[in-house]
C-alpha cells in the first residue's frame, strides 16, 4: 500500500515537473496509447505517463467511425452470427494479400474480442454489433459500435476520462513529444525515455519502457510525397496532428519500415470534407461521373479501394445517388448527420429534378442508374452527394513483432521500445486497396491491448531506471 501511494504521488508530480522518471511513457493518447496506458496502469506498482500532442486538435481515432472489428464476440453470438478470430484474420489476409504479416494479423484478431468485451463490460461503454454495417471484404457482420452511431469521438473521450482518473497515471495534454532519449549507438542502442515540450518548457522523461503510439504521416506533405507520390494530392481527411514525427526518430535507430505506400483512402468524401455512410453501395447507391457515366461496380471495392476509381474521373469528382429505402438505413450514422449539417446532401423529387439539380443529361443519367444484374432499382425520390477522394490515415510504418517490439532490418528488436497505432505498420498490406473497414482501430487497440498487458505483467522488456 505504501508503494502504491508513492506511485500515485509520483504520477501527480509528473504533471508539473520538468524532468520526471516513470516506469512507462506513452507517446500519444489515441486509440493505441489509451488502451496501452489503461491496461498497463492496472498494475498499481507502475507509474505511467501518457503524453498527448493536443486533445483539442484530436487524433485519427476521434474522427473515425468508431467501429471496432472483432470476430467471436458475445454480441455476435447473441445475434446468431457465427464468427471467430481465425475467420476475421482470413478475411483480412484475403483482402490485403500480405501473408508476411500473418502472425501480426492473427495476434490482433485474437485480441479483438477481449478488448471489445472489456470496453463494454469493465469500462461501461455501450456497444452492439452493427448488423446493418455491410462492408466489402467482411464475410459476416463484425463491426461493433455504439447504438447511436456517434463515431469515434465519444469513445476516445470515455477512455481518456478513465485513464486520467487513475492514481498512478499522468495524462499530459498539449505535451508533444519531440524525440527519443537513446543510450548507446548502433545495434546496442536502447531507448530510455522521451523528450517533450509542455507549456513552452522542455520536458525530459526517463522510462523503463517507451511506447510510441502517435498518428501516421498523412498530414505531412513531405513524407506523403516521399512515400505516396502515386496518390497525387488528395484531400486530407484526417487530423492535423498526423505529422509522422516518429519516422525520423525511428530512422535514427535503424528501424525497418514496411508498406509505406499504403493508406486508408476514401472514395466517399463529400466536397465539404465530410463522408457519407460506407454502407450506401450495399443499399443500392450508384456512382456516376460528371459525364453521366456509371464507372465502377460500387460493391466491388471497399471505400479505400473506391478512391482511385473516383480519382480517375473528370475533375476527380463523382455523384452518388440513392433513394429513400437506402437513406432510411444509412442516415443512422454520424457521418451522414455531419454531411447533412455541412450542406453536402441533396434531394430531388424525381429524375427530371435530379438531372436539373446536378446538371446532367436526363437520358444519360437514367441509363447510368439502371441496376446491375441482381441489384434493385432505385425509386424516386432521390438523395445525392457530390464526392471526391481523400486520404484519412497512412497504413505504413515501423516493422513490429506480435508484441509491438520495433524491429531493425536485421530482425533484432530495439531495447526499451514498443510501437503501435499510426507509428507501426498497419493491416492494409502494400496497397491501399487492401484496407478493410475497422482495420485502423483493430491495429491500434489490438496492439495497445497486447503491449499494455505485457507491461502490467512485467514482461515489457524494459530497462532498469
**1-66+148-262+395-465 and 265-391, same CATH topology:** no
Banded model confidence at residue 2, pLDDT cuts 50, 70, 90: very low
- pLDDT mean over 316-329: 97
DSSP conformational letter for 128: E
Q: Which fold has domain 265-391?
A: Flavocytochrome C3; Chain A, domain 1 (3.90.700)
Q: What is the pLDDT of residues 62-105, one digit of tens each?
A: 989 999 999 999 999 999 999 999 999 999 999 999 999 999 99
Q: Residue 14 pLDDT more than 70?
A: no
Phi, psi of 244 (to 5 degrees): 65, 30
Global pTM reads: 0.92
Q: How many alpha carbons fall within 13 Å on the CB side of residue 215?
A: 29
Q: Residue 3 pLDDT more than 80?
A: no
- pLDDT mean over 15-40: 92
Q: Would you state the pLDDT for residue 96?
A: 97
In CATH terms, the superfamily for domain 1-66+148-262+395-465 is: FAD/NAD(P)-binding domain (3.50.50.60)
Nearest partner of 344 among 307, 386, 290, 289, judged by Cα: 386
Q: What is the pLDDT of residues 169-220, one digit of tens each?
A: 999 999 999 999 999 988 889 999 999 999 889 999 999 999 999 999 999 9
Q: Would you state the pLDDT for residue 464?
A: 38
Q: What is the pLDDT of residues 122-174, one digit of tens each?
A: 999 999 999 999 999 999 999 999 999 999 999 999 999 999 999 999 999 99
Q: Would you state the pLDDT for residue 13?
A: 54
Q: What is the pLDDT of residues 75-87, one digit of tens each?
A: 999 999 999 999 9
Domain residue spans of the chain: 1-66+148-262+395-465, 265-391
Helix (H) or strand (E) holding 155: helix 152-164
Cα separation, 255 vs 190, in Å, equals 12
Residues found in the chain: 465
Amino acid at each position: 500500500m505504501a508503494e502504491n501511494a508513492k506511485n500515485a504521488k509520483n504520477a501527480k508530480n509528473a504533471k508539473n515537473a520538468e524532468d520526471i522518471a516513470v516506469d512507462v511513457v506513452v507517446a500519444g493518447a489515441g486509440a493505441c496509447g489509451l488502451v496501452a496506458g489503461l491496461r498497463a496502469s492496472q498494475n498499481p506498482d507502475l507509474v505511467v505517463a501518457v503524453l498527448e500532442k493536443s486533445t483539442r486538435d484530436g487524433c485519427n481515432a476521434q474522427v473515425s467511425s468508431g467501429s471496432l472489428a472483432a470476430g467471436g464476440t458475445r454480441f455476435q453470438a447473441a445475434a446468431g452470427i457465427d464468427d471467430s478470430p481465425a475467420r476475421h484474420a482470413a478475411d483480412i489476409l484475403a483482402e490485403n494479400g500480405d501473408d508476411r504479416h500473418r502472425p501480426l494479423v492473427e495476434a490482433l484478431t485474437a485480441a479483438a474480442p477481449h478488448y471489445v468485451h472489456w470496453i463494454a463490460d469493465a469500462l461501461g461503454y455501450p456497444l452492439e454489433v452493427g448488423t446493418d454495417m455491410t462492408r466489402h471484404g467482411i464475410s459476416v457482420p463484425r463491426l461493433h459500435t455504439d447504438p447511436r452511431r456517434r463515431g469515434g469521438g465519444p469513445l476516445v473521450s470515455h477512455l481518456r476520462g478513465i485513464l486520467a482518473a487513475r492514481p498512478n497515471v499522468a495524462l499530459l495534454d498539449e505535451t508533444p513529444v519531440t524525440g527519443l532519449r537513446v543510450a548507446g549507438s548502433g545495434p546496442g542502442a536502447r531507448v530510455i525515455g522521451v523528450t517533450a515540450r509542455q507549456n513552452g518548457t522542455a520536458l525530459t522523461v526517463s522510462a523503463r519502457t517507451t511506447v510510441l503510439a502517435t498518428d501516421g504521416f498523412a498530414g505531412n506533405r513531405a513524407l506523403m510525397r516521399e512515400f505516396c507520390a502515386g496518390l497525387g494530392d488528395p484531400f486530407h481527411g484526417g487530423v492535423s496532428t498526423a505529422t509522422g514525427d516518429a519516422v525520423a526518430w525511428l530512422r535514427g535507430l535503424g528501424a525497418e519500415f514496411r508498406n509505406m505506400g499504403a493508406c486508408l483512402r476514401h472514395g466517399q468524401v463529400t466536397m465539404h470534407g465530410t463522408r457519407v455512410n460506407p454502407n450506401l453501395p450495399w443499399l443500392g447507391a450508384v456512382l456516376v461521373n460528371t459525364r453521366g457515366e456509371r464507372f465502377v461496380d460500387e460493391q466491388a471495392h471497399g471505400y479505400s479501394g473506391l478512391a482511385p476509381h473516383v480519382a480517375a474521373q473528370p475533375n476527380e469528382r463523382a455523384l452518388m445517388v440513392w433513394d429513400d429505402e437506402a437513406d432510411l438505413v444509412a442516415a443512422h450514422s454520424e457521418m451522414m448527420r455531419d454531411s447533412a449539417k455541412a450542406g453536402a446532401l441533396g434531394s430531388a423529387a424525381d429524375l427530371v429534378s435530379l438531372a436539373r439539380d446536378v446538371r446532367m443529361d436526363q437520358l444519360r443519367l437514367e441509363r447510368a442508374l439502371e441496376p446491375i444484374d441482381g441489384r434493385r432499382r432505385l425509386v424516386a425520390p432521390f438523395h445525392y452527394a457530390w464526392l471526391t477522394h481523400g486520404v484519412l490515415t497512412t497504413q505504413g510504418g515501423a516493422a513490429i513483432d506480435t508484441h509491438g517490439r520495433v524491429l531493425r532490418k536485421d530482425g533484432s528488436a530495439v531495447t526499451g521500445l514498443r510501437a503501435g497505432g499510426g507509428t507501426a505498420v498497419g493491416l492494409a498490406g502494400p496497397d491501399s486497396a487492401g484496407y478493410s473497414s475497422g482495420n485502423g482501430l483493430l491495429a491500434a487497440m489490438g496492439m495497445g491491448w497486447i503491449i499494455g498487458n505485457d507491461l502490467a505483467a512485467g514482461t515489457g522488456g524494459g530497462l532498469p531506471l
